[in-house]
Amino acid sequence: MILTNTRERTRFIRFAIVGAVGAVIDFGVFNFLTHSFPYFRDNAVFAQAISFTLAVFSNFTWNRLWTYPDSRSKSLIRQWTQFVIVSVIGLTIRTPIFLWLEGFLIRLISGWFPKDTVTPVVIAHNIALAVVIGTVMIWNFIANRYWTYNDVNA
């Protein structure tokens, strides 16, 4: 198992910390867009794609600098391309789950909260986003470790 190796466990923890920063960016941009622009409020799937993209930029930068600083046998462009491909696959995993979960949660929690409080839509958006971020993080770590950063010794 990859996480029994101390070096790999440290990389996973760093990857998770970088991912947490990315999640803050993801949630922040997503909530800014859905609260500030009516279009994104009604089309949250596009807001989550934009917030995801910005988080990918941050995650790539910090993973290259901090999680895998010893990964330099590949060019920056090649690693960026591989990281983006992994991320786009992650986006294709996350988007249908987000769409389904968002609708399900809105229907589930509608009527639970009094008017003038946080709306079921806001709650559903954020719970759905949290679930897909966690799900895709596992995919991203495994795919990036064994493809994008496969030049690093365990």
In angstroms, the Cα distances linking 31 to 16, 61, 91, 117 are 22, 23, 18, 16
Weakest-pLDDT range from 3-7, 14-18, 59-63, 64-68: 3-7
Instruction: List, for residues 38-93, the tens digit of each pLDDT value.
Output: 898 888 889 988 998 999 999 999 999 999 998 889 899 999 999 999 999 988 98
Is 55 within 8 Å of 26 (Cβ atoms)?
yes
CA 44, chain centre distance (Å): 15
Confidence of residue 1 (pLDDT cuts 50, 70, 90): very low
The whole-number pLDDT of residue 37 equals 92
Is 106 within 8 Å of 129 (Cβ atoms)?
no
Tell me the mean pLDDT in the region 4-32.
90
The whole-number pLDDT of residue 127 equals 86
Separation of alpha carbons 64 and 144, rounded Å:
11
Phi-psi region at 54: left, alpha or beta (left = phi > 0; alpha = psi -120 to 50): alpha
Residue type, 129: L
What is the phi/psi pair of residue 68, to 5°? -125, 60
Separation of alpha carbons 8 and 68, rounded Å:
10
What is the phi/psi pair of residue 112, to 5°? -80, -25
Instruction: List, for residues 103-144, the tens digit of each pLDDT value.
Output: 888 888 887 766 666 777 778 888 888 888 888 888 888 898
Confidence of residue 2 (pLDDT cuts 50, 70, 90): low
Between these two residues, 69 and 1, which has the higher pLDDT value?
Answer: 69
In angstroms, the Cα distances linking 37 to 40, 42, 98, 118 are 6, 9, 19, 17
Tokens representing residue 53 in the block: 């993209």
pTM, rounded to two decimals? 0.78
Separation of alpha carbons 89 and 11, rounded Å:
22
